[in-house]
Amino acid sequence: MANALQNVRLFVAILAARSAQLASRALRAGGGSTMPGVVSRRVDPTVLTKLSKRLPGGAAAITGTNGKTTTARMVSHILRTANVKAVNNSTGANLVTGVTAALVADSTISGNPRSEVALFEVDEASVPKVAAEAELKLLAVLNLFRDQLDRYGELAYLGKVIASSFGDLPSDGSVLLNADDPLVASLGREARKAVYFGVEDSSLDMGRLQHVADSKSCPVCGVDLKYGAVYMGHVGTYDCPNCDFTGPDTAYRATSVRFDGAKATSFALSAPDGEMEMKIQLPGLYNVYNALAAAAVASEMGVALEDIKRGLEGFGGAFGRVERIQAGEKEAFLLLIKNPVGFNEILRTFVAGETSGAKHVLIAINDNDADGRDVSWLWDVDFEMLAESEAPREPFTVSGIRAGDMAVRLKYADLPVGDVVPDRGKAIKAALEATPPGETLYVLPTYTAMLEIRRTLSDLGHTHPFWEDE
């Protein structure tokens, strides 16, 4: 009887979610992907637990500051390649309500998931809530960088918050951690079963800690870590000179990383199941980390290495992160700027290189909530590396609500400041006009500036509004 009542409640919860979904679509509330979660949770607070228990292959979650969207999409692509039916939450709906909404939308009216497995990207601070309810077989932590300061106050605290969820994983659950990020790696001490991934390639050493390094001190004892190699930010190989903390042994490893300009990157993957050459259609070391994490998640979920390779190599990139848009006889290459580490990677990959030929560049910095309201981080970006490079380049066009700050930053890196056009629409039009036919305009916007620039390009007939190709 009690059980039947539970099922009725679940049924009503799913029904309520369906009508909420229809209503928000009718209102074109765009995205509208958390409302059904809110509604169904109100009717049945255990809806997430009930549904995730009925997933034949269980649920996995990915969290971290950088790359969780790209990594989650890579894993989805791998699962599709391997014919595993998976349910995902949509970008921007990465709190417990969004996760619930995804599972509710995937299940039949009687409360049975249509998918075999669930794969969620989860906001760092929401991990405990999701883990407490979703029976996670696997929780992957990619990295912890400082661009979350606005939201959470403190990085070490955030690590504690994430680790506090480990006890809620089922007995066969494990955590997958980035061994090269000291704070993330240190969380493994709190886990029943921890698996690590990392990069091993001394040719990637930046030679010095970038100025953005966040957790360069030992997460255990607080003394400055000694780095063997620094790959990006505070990520690299390290030892504590004071205590026994050191980078853990990795089960999944990327070696022999080779960058093929803006188009592709290759590396050798070694996993418990064997070794394999990977060639991904995305630039930059950060995408090597994303691909490595995706391979590890998929492998831990039981996908064969051959399918992982096919899935990763056929992956085209997530919306907005890296995107090419044909604009008449010209091309616009959009590269989303999220934080100083990502910005440095983009500068290193596209702008500083002498062969990549980023000759026409537009930078657009907004400071809305979704961009980060504090633009101090611009000073942590290593623009100085450009002053040393010999690549032929036009002065950067600068745009965004914080165009002024960006112009000052360039000036203090001894770089020529081009046009300062705060209005994003006007700036992209002018920059495209100034780009000769057959050439590429590199556009480096923060999140909301990217949406605005895309809208302008769309109005010019160069692409579709973003909700149509999601």
Whole-number Å distance between alpha carbons of 55 and 58: 5
The span of 112-120, 186-194, 216-224, 267-275 binding Zn ion (CB under 5 A) equals 216-224
The listed partner (Zn ion, another protein, none) that binds 326, CB under 5 to 8 Å by sort, is none
From the list 190-198, 218-226, 303-311, 429-437, the region that binds Zn ion by CB under 5 A is: 218-226
At 255, is the secondary structure helix, strand, or coil? Answer: strand
Query: For the chain, how big is the Rg over CA atoms in Å?
Result: 22
Kindly list the distances between the CA atom of residue 383 and the CA atoms of 290, 345, 363, 379, 406, in Å, as whole numbers in the listed order: 24, 11, 12, 9, 11
CB of 376 to another protein, least distance (A): 5
Q: Does 240 bind Zn ion (CB under 5 A)?
A: yes
With CB under 5 to 8 Å by kind, the binding choice for 404 among Zn ion, another protein, none is another protein
Nearer to another protein, 276 or 408 (CB): 408
- Residue 190, judged by CB atoms within 10 A of its CB (0-12, 13-18, 19+), counts as middle
Can you tell me which of 7, 242, 266, 270 binds Zn ion, judged by CB under 5 A? 242
- Whether 374 is catalytic: yes
* CB 360, CB 431: distance < 8 Å: yes
Helix 68-81 and helix 305-313: axis angle, to 10°? 120
User: Taking Cα atoms as reference points, which of 100, 122, 117 lies closest to residue 49?
Assistant: 100
Alpha-carbon distance 334 to 100, whole Å?
Answer: 32
Structure tokens, 239: 């030892």
In this structure, how many other beta carbons lie within 10 angstroms of the beta carbon of residue 206?
18
Q: How far is the CB of 198 from another protein (least distance, A)?
A: 25
Using the minimum distance from each CB to another protein, give the nearer residue, 223 or 304: 223
**Which residues, in sequence order, are CB contacts of 392 under 8 Å at separation 6+?**
359
CB crowding 385-401: b at 16 or more within 10 Å, else e: bbeeeeeebeebbbbbb
Residue placing its CB nearer to Zn ion in the complex, 12 or 221: 221
Taking the complex as a whole, the smallest distance from the CB of residue 241 to Zn ion amounts, in Å, to: 8
From the list another protein, Zn ion, none, partner contacted by residue 155 (C-beta under 5 to 8 A by kind)? another protein
For Zn ion, the closer of residues 224 and 277 by Cβ is 224
Given 374, 380, 382, 423, which residue is catalytic? 374
Exposed/middle/buried for residue 116 (C-beta within 10 Å: 0-12, 13-18, 19+) = middle
Please report, as ranges, the residues that interact with another protein according to CB under 8 A.
Answer: 149-150, 153-157, 211, 217, 222-224, 373-376, 378-380, 401, 403-405, 407-409, 411-412, 414, 417, 420, 422
Minimum CB separation of residue 323 from another protein in Å reads: 29
Nearest to 267, CA basis, from 301, 302, 295, 225: 295
Q: Give residues 44-103 in contact with Zn ion (rule: CB under 5 A).
A: none
Least Cβ distance, residue 146 to another protein (angstroms): 9
How far apart are CB 228 and Zn ion at their closest, in Å?
15
Query: Binds 380, which of another protein, Zn ion, none (CB < 5 to 8 A, cut-off by type)?
Result: another protein
Applying CB under 5 A, which part among 185-193, 244-252, 294-302, 367-375 lies near Zn ion? 244-252
Tokens of 200: 């091993």
Minimal distance, residue 240 CB to Zn ion, in Å:
3
Residue 376: count other Cβ atoms within 10 Å of its Cβ. 10
Of these partners, another protein, Zn ion, none, which one is at the site of residue 240 (CB under 5 to 8 Å by kind)?
Zn ion
Query: Total residues at the site for Zn ion (CB under 5 A)?
Result: 7
Cβ-based nearer residue to another protein, 379 or 466:
379
Positions that interact with Zn ion (CB under 5 A): 218, 220-221, 240, 242-243, 245
Q: Which residues are catalytic?
A: 374
